[in-house]
Each structure stands twice: as structure tokens, then as C-alpha cells.
Amino acid sequence: MSGPAGTLWLVPNTLDFGTEGIPPDLQEVLPLGVIRTAARLGHWVVENARTTRAFLKRVDAVVPLAQPLQAISIVELPRAHKGPARSAAADLTPLLAPAGQGHDLGLMSEAGMPAVADPGAALVQAAHARGIRVVALPGPSALLLAVAASGLNGQSFAFVGYLPVDAAERAARIRELEARSRRDGQTQLVIETPYRNAALLGALLAHLEPGTRLSVGCGLTLPSGFTRTDAVRGWQARPTTLPGDVPVVFSLLAA
């Protein structure tokens, strides 16, 4: 690497991608300093290029972009680095070429904080290996917002990702997580593809013990968003219908 390298900026995205209705004002969700940083970046590595372009249009409405959107380089992470089965074998070094040439580079997820429950972590690892400065900017993280609003144990928690789709495997995994939570006093966080929200809630209520506390953080940062925490028996007595097009974080803490 010749000359001073650029910085890899981890730019948080909003949590409203793909939801219906008018999204909240960008300045209600992100600090102005983050918006200013995003506005000046001319090189991006992202999970989804379409999402990033939509985000930059919102940025431009607050702080004009330093160059036309069409002139900004937006490169998607390789497919192998997307989804639960992503491989760590792909060489991501070429994606860091702009930073090696002295340009600052942005990293963005489809929603929320890049590199947290996100394939961008592999690019961050590659940046550290090359001695490239990495800076994470403040912004929404659905997982931390869910923990904070749940009232469950925020001193010890674990994000375990998606549960199996197969009903028997999912039931076994739910019981395993409940046992771990009971043993360690640790909050367990899981997520699901939005159209399966109702199915996952039903499975949790069917297989968790009545006294286990379950929290649902639905549409966090959205005007219609809410968090509800109750014992499983309370959820069963007072059912809640979850939307099939809004992200949800499910958190459980066994008694």
C-alpha cells in the first residue's frame, strides 16, 4: 500500500427498508454528522446497491451529495458473503482498493449497523488485516434497541440469528435456547424473515415455558413500532398479531 490509506467508514442505515408508508425524517434516526459523512463519500461497499442508492437520495435531501449519485461507486459484497451460509473464503481485498488509493470508503448494510449481524464484518476484518483505519459511526442497531426496550437482562445477552425453518428442528432449538438462558441468566435474541414473524411467535409460545419472559421489538424506529414484554402465559392470554412486512427482534429470558 503506497501513500496514506483512506478510512473505512461503517455507516448505519435506517431500519425502514421495505416497509410501507412514508419513512421517518432521516434526521430523526441518524445524527447530522453521520449524514454529512455519507454525503461526502464517493466509494461504497454495500449489501444491497438499491438500498444504498435510496439511502443516498435521502441523504441528499438533507446534505447535498459531494458528487452526483450516478458518479458514486457502489459495489455489492460478493454473494458468498450474504446470508447465514456465507463463506469466508472469498478474497475481499479488491473491494478495499479505493482505500488503498487514499479514498475514504463507506460500508453499508440493508438496514441498521453494518458488520453487526451482517456480512460486512468480513470486509472489516480484511481492512484490519491491511492496516486500514476503521471507524464505526453512531446509528440504529435493531438488536441493541430491542435489548434496551425489553427490560430483560442487558448485562448478558446473545444474538443467535435465525432459527431452523423445519418445525421439529425449530422446536428443539427453542428449547435449547431456553435452557441456555435459564442456566446462564442470559437474554437470547433471534430474528426472522418478516413474512415468518407470526409463525415464529407461534412456535415460541408453543414451546417456551409459561414463566419465560418473551419480548417482541417490532418495527423499531418506525412511527408504528412497538415493544411488548410479557411472560409466555401473558402472551397466550392476550395474543398480539405481528405484521408480515416489518422486521421484528424476538428476545427471551427464562425464569
CATH of the domain at 33: 3.40.1010.10
Determine if residue 191 is left, alpha or beta; phi over 0 gives left, psi from -120 to 50 gives alpha, anything else beta.
beta
Same domain (yes/no): 164, 105:
no
Same domain (yes/no): 195, 220:
yes
pLDDT of residue 187: 98
Cβ neighbours of residue 148 closer than 8 Å, sequence gap 6 or more:
154
* Domain final position from 136, 168, 192: 136
Task: Map residue 244 onto helix, strand or coil.
Answer: coil
What are 14-59's pLDDT values in tens digits?
A: 998 766 666 778 999 999 999 999 999 999 999 999 999 999 999 9
| CATH number, position 181 | 3.30.950.10
Query: Which pTM was predicted?
Result: 0.86
Same domain (yes/no): 191, 233:
yes
* Domain final position from 121, 136, 151: 136
Domain count, the chain: 2
Residue 170 carries which DSSP code? H
Integer Cα distance of 170 and 162 in angstroms:
10
* Domain final position from 136, 164, 194: 136
Determine if residue 161 is left, alpha or beta; phi over 0 gives left, psi from -120 to 50 gives alpha, anything else beta.
left
Residue 1 domain-assigned (yes or no): no
Same domain (yes/no): 23, 123:
yes
Cβ-count burial of 201 within 10 angstroms (0-12 exposed, 13-18 middle, 19+ buried)?
buried
Domain containing residue 47? 7-136
- Residue 3: phi and psi, rounded to 5, are 75, 170
In this prediction, the residues of the chain whose per-residue pLDDT falls under 70 are: 1-3, 18-22, 80-90
